[in-house]
Structure 1
């Protein structure tokens, strides 16, 4: 009988990382959680047996130490926007610590030739740079999980939703609203059993405009929600106030005002829609179901 995979998960306090950790554990992997604060509790993991080590992806020396301490050979990482070198030093630290293969939580916005994405397309560009660096450091032994638009992105509007008025530059743009839990479960399976594909796109089962999504949110929360349309400059300012850096805010506003959808017109879309069920053997979570399970977060 093959020995269980030994995996280390960076970002385990986030929803995707914690679900990935739980799923990998349930699938038989030995799981180590790499955390800035190993004392921080992760209630969603319950009483599963995991080791916690101190590490920060922005500090390569801590990464190498954590990997050596864990003995892990597979790592889950995410892109750090503030690291301009595509996280190359961190990736080298992973490899020198003993990591043999990496799964990157990337983005569905990365399409086509990863070397041809311009810096002005800031979100896909940042993720593509990490993918390029992974290829340089690990050769063929890495995979990028590329989810589309998270259902949890609705929470960025929670204050406006609770006040009953949401400001948008385009209420008709459509998203797939994929559940973070579905993403985490797919990642957990890949960690435990290995990834055969270089790219694993993930697209949710919904096709809802922001306007229709807010209607569903209003129904689930029992609130009447009005939409106020605003110009691009105001929309960028609003997103910055929610904590999004200006370059990312500008990119997003341009993306959502320039077209009705940027998900269903790309070749990976149907594969991405099928992948949740393919890897988890479960029906993908619909947006309304995700809202019912997370509605308390809108009042938090």
Structure 2
């Protein structure tokens, strides 16, 4: 089998894609900004490159047949040249997009993913889009508060079907290594709808610490997010998206069990895998 290139190879999802492919004995190349610092499994080839600088991609794409594409942020100005560069070499691309019915990350982010999908569809490559909803890993942002025993955040009753990053990676590996997925758009979710307050409680139970929820006023949450993200439109879109899950919980899909032949990993299982991050 020809080489598979994984972008975002050291991130939450990409590192699991790399390790699962390498564990199966497949030739894997990891696109990283600093090969000297990348901690990758034995046998994985690290190649320097940056999706925000499309001209750096040529060495990484040499002799590549398939690409697992994760975008770093939403740098729309480089989307077209990056897709063009990938299409000049690869026959297949699996793109980690977003659930178009889920505006939790804001309309701007959703529109970005839709634009990248459009660019990919207009190439000659075989393509598959993975569209997860909420990532369980996003609750790592509560780590400091979990240690203090109280999570201050808005919309405690917002119900999400958060997905374990290992399940996203397992679906990506399945699609990259098997036939019949060309043109598929796979919506991915975890197996349960849990409120944010329930998520915090479960993390506490797993790490052995009582954790309670303290509803944070929206104005205070907006101020914190503006300081962290700096983009008012993105912040307001994210808050509106999260708030929508109070009345309309995030949907559960059966894609993970159908493709992998096993149940999707639960949020409690995710928390158990991340005890060290909250301890």
Instruction: Please say whether Structure 1 and Structure 2 have the same fold, judged by a TM-score greater than 0.5.
Output: yes
Does 8-17 or 138-147 show the bigger shift?
Answer: 138-147
Aligned-CA RMSD value = 2.3
Following TM superposition, the consecutive aligned residue runs of length 4 or more in structure 1 with deviations greater than 4 angstroms are 241-245
In structure 1, the residue matched to 2:66 is: 74
In structure 2, the residue matched to 1:30 is: 27
Q: Does 1:59 align with 2:45?
A: no
Quote the offset at 1:286 in angstroms: 1.1
How high is the TM-score relative to the length of structure 2?
A: 0.89
Q: Does 1:87 align with 2:79?
A: yes
Query: Which of the numbers 165, 186, 189 marks the counterpart of 1:200?
Result: 186
Q: Does 1:105 align with 2:88?
A: no
In structure 2, the residue matched to 1:211 is: 197
Query: What is the CA–CA distance in structure 2 between the aligned matches of 1:176 and 1:259, rounded to whole Å?
Result: 10
Query: What count of residue pairs does the alignment treat as equivalent?
Result: 275
In structure 2, the residue matched to 1:10 is: 7
Quote the offset at 1:21 in angstroms: 1.7
Q: Does 1:263 align with 2:250?
A: yes
2:86 aligned counterpart, secondary structure: helix
In structure 1, runs of 5+ residues without a counterpart are: none
In structure 2, the residue matched to 1:147 is: 132
Q: Does the 8 Å CA contact 1:5/1:193 hold for their aligned counterparts?
A: no
Query: What is the CA–CA distance in structure 2 between the aligned matches of 1:163 and 1:209, rounded to whole Å?
Result: 20
Quote the offset at 1:203 in angstroms: 0.9
Q: Does 1:135 align with 2:121?
A: yes
Matches within 5 A, 1:246-261: 246-260=232-246, 261=248
Q: Does 1:176 align with 2:161?
A: yes
1:222–1:28 Cα change, 3 Å: closer
1:206–1:218 Cα change, 3 Å: same
1:39–1:160 Cα change, 3 Å: same
Quote the offset at 1:184 in angstroms: 0.7
In structure 2, the residue matched to 1:274 is: 254
Query: What is the CA–CA distance in structure 1 between the aligned matches of 2:72 and 2:11, rounded to whole Å?
Result: 14
1:158 aligned counterpart, secondary structure: helix
2:34 aligned counterpart, secondary structure: coil
Q: Does the 8 Å CA contact 1:86/1:130 hold for their aligned counterparts?
A: no
In structure 2, runs of 5+ residues without a counterpart are: none
Query: What is the CA–CA distance in structure 2 between the aligned matches of 1:210 and 1:141, rounded to whole Å?
Result: 38
Q: Does the 8 Å CA contact 2:8/2:69 hold for their aligned counterparts?
A: yes
